[in-house]
């Protein structure tokens, strides 16, 4: 039996390796997050390495080194989260610690195994790493999956000039039947709760208790503006995305009236509410991070609200505002491009733990009470200017 060599150094090395793998392979660097839970799928790799390091050592040394490594990992993750996100998610840390202990125990049993074929433990270790990686991502996807609206939730009424429905080509009957051409933003919102997409608020009223989502619409008739104002002032709720300079890709040739408006046409409504939307910056069209009560949005060329009534609370440089209008409430966002799927969607459909922003979850929470909340929430690295 080989004498143990620097168990604390080995434990620290394993913790450092796990941190590095989570930062690179776990997606923290790519997504701009510091979630401890993102280390879970890659935990088997450092645990297998530790088990091979301690092959033939006594059980007491193996377990003490394993738990020392996990303790160091938990402390390092907590410190990074507190420094970079100003918050440490203790349930995530506990999940990583327990998962690390489980994967470490399995790895140790495999390495201590003495079959006649000496290559079998290595093959089993490879199978453990691959299986743990897949199972870890499946578990995280379910834990980060946001809650949908209740079955009896009123429909959210959506009025928009963005090309969200029937964007695909092919037979129109098939598109209507399976909605293969719907934009991902609309697909995800409809997965969160009932959505009623309308062309005119005059012909379609808002269900009782429902919320109105106005996303960069075309020019509205005076009757519609009056209806929106009356809805909010009488106790209703609205989310208004008013883009001063939309960068949404035009699905039709330049000048086609079916394209979304280039700039917001909601000025009469906003003026009536005492709101002025400033011009969008033209020097930077890249999406930038914006935090609203802990939720991460990605805004592109968003205009700031230069004038607001005193009943408003502002966020992220006055680009987002929560305003009391009469007896109701309106959320105002100076950008509609935040709905553009590449700014928020995960690289793999259904991988909610790998999302780039909380756009859909944030909207769902505004549209349906209780929706958009998950067991685990992302810990976003805060911008330096924040």
Question: Of 77, 80, 62, nearest to 11 (Cα)?
Answer: 62
Q: What is the pLDDT of residues 2-39, one digit of tens each?
A: 454 578 889 999 999 999 999 999 999 999 999 999 99
Orientation angle between helical segments 120-143 and 90-112, nearest 10 degrees: 160
State how far the Cα of 110 lies from the Cα of 123, in Å rounded to an integer: 10
- The token duo for 286 is 């890249």
pLDDT tens readout for residues 99-151: 999 999 999 998 888 777 777 878 888 999 999 999 999 999 999 999 999 99
* Size (the chain), residues: 386
Express each pLDDT in 51-88 by its tens digit.
988 887 888 889 999 999 999 999 999 999 999 999 88
Q: 257: pLDDT confidence band, cut at 50, 70 and 90?
A: low
pLDDT digits (tens, 9 = 90+) for 323-358: 999 999 999 999 999 999 999 999 888 999 999 999
Q: What are residue 213's DSSP bridge partners?
A: 158, 239
Backbone phi and psi for residue 57, each to the nearest 5 degrees, phi listed first: -80, 165
3-state secondary structure 238-268: EEEECCCCCCCCCCCCCCCCCCCCCCCCCHH
Q: Is residue 177 very low, low, confident or very high in pLDDT (cuts 50, 70, 90)?
A: low
What is the percent of the chain with per-residue pLDDT over 90, rounded to a whole number? 63
Residues 6+ apart with CB under 8 A from 245: 262, 263, 279, 280, 282, 301, 303
Distance of CA 177 to the CA centre of its chain: 29
């Amino acid at each position: 039996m080989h004498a143990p060599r620097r168990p604390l150094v080995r434990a620290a090395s394993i913790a450092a390796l796990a941190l590095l793998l989570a930062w690179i392979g776990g997606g923290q660097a790519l997504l701009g997050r510091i979630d401890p839970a993102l280390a879970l799928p890659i935990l088997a790799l450092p645990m297998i390495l530790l088990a091979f390091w301690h092959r033939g050592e006594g059980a007491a040394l193996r377990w003490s080194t394993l738990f020392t490594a996990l303790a160091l990992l938990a402390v390092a993750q907590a410190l990074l989260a507190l420094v970079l996100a100003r918050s440490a998610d203790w349930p995530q840390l506990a999940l990583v610690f327990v998962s690390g202990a489980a994967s470490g125990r399995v790895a140790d049993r495999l390495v201590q195994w003495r079959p006649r074929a000496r290559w079998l433990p290595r093959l089993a270790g490879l199978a453990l790493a691959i299986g743990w990686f897949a199972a870890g991502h499946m578990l995280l996807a379910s834990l980060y999956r946001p809650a949908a609206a209740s079955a009896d939730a009123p429909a959210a009424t959506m009025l928009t000039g963005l090309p969200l429905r029937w964007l695909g080509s092919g037979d129109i009957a098939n598109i209507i039947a399976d909605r293969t051409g719907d934009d991902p933003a609309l697909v995800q919102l409809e997965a969160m709760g009932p959505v009623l997409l309308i062309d005119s608020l005059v012909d379609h009223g808002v269900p009782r208790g429902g919320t109105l989502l106005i996303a960069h619409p075309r020019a509205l008739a005076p009757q519609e503006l009056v209806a929106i104002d009356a809805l909010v002032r009488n106790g209703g709720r609205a989310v208004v995305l008013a883009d001063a300079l939309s960068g949404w890709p035009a699905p039709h040739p330049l000048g086609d009236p079916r394209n979304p408006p280039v700039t917001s046409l909601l000025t009469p409504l906003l003026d009536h509410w005492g709101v002025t939307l400033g011009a969008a910056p033209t020097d930077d069209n890249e999406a930038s991070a914006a935090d609203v009560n802990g939720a991460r949005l990605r805004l592109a060329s968003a205009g700031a609200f230069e004038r607001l009534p005193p009943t408003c609370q502002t966020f992220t440089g006055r680009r987002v505002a929560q305003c009391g209008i009469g007896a109701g409430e309106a959320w105002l966002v100076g950008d509609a491009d935040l709905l553009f799927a590449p700014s928020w969607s995960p690289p793999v459909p259904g991988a909610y733990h790998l999302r780039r922003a909380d756009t859909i979850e944030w909207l769902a929470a505004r549209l349906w009470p209780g929706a958009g909340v998950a067991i685990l929430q992302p810990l976003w690295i805060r911008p330096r200017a924040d």
